[in-house]
Structure 1
Amino acid sequence: MNINKLLEKKDWHYDVYQENNNIILSVPIPKPAPGFDVIYTLNEYEKEKYLQIGIKALEERIQDMNVNYYDYQMNSWR
């Protein structure tokens, strides 16, 4: 059973949530149609930095997810 705990959210920019011992970043992208949530599980270094300084630690990752979304897990909005 997975328990998701929302840690942080900025509508239409990102969601950060905890699932078990992982921190997961979700970035919504409207294109390609019908739109997707791009999903990434933080590695240990990213997780530590996020816990220390917050979302600022993930700015480059979020930018990469918006540009190179095919390199990540994608969940369709349909």
Structure 2
Amino acid sequence: MNKRKLLEKKEWEYYVFEENNTIELSVPIPNPIPGFDITYTLSEPEREKYLHTGIKALEERIQDMKVNFSNYKMNSWR
């Protein structure tokens, strides 16, 4: 049984998880109310780049998730 493992985080900026050999990026946003965690599963090329370069490889994706949050999976804080 695989567990979801936190790889790295910067509180209230981003969280990076690994589960079943996939990597998921989660970005919390306070608006729209009540606040959401925006999530995205990295593609294989993004995963490899992240594993090689670290969080720098995801900076553009994080910014896009904050601006275009409706294009991603949104989990309400409520």
Aligned-pair identity in percent equals 71
Give the SS at the match of 2:51.
helix
1:3: how far off?
1.4
With normalisation by structure 1, the TM-score equals 0.97
Separation in 2 of the partners of 1:63 and 1:2?
A: 30
Tell me the residue number matched to 1:50. Answer: 50
Per-residue deviation at 1:10?
Answer: 0.3
Q: How many correspondences in the alignment?
A: 78
TM-score (ref. length: structure 2): 0.97
Alpha-carbon RMSD across the aligned residues, in angstroms, is 0.9
Deviations 1:7-63 (A, max 9, x none): 000001000010111100000000000000000000001000000010000000000
* Runs of at least 5 residues in structure 2 that lack an aligned partner in the other structure: none
Distance in structure 2 (CA, Å) of the matches to 1:2 and 1:35 = 29
Aligned to 1:17: 17
Task: Give the gaps of 5 or more residues in structure 1.
Answer: none
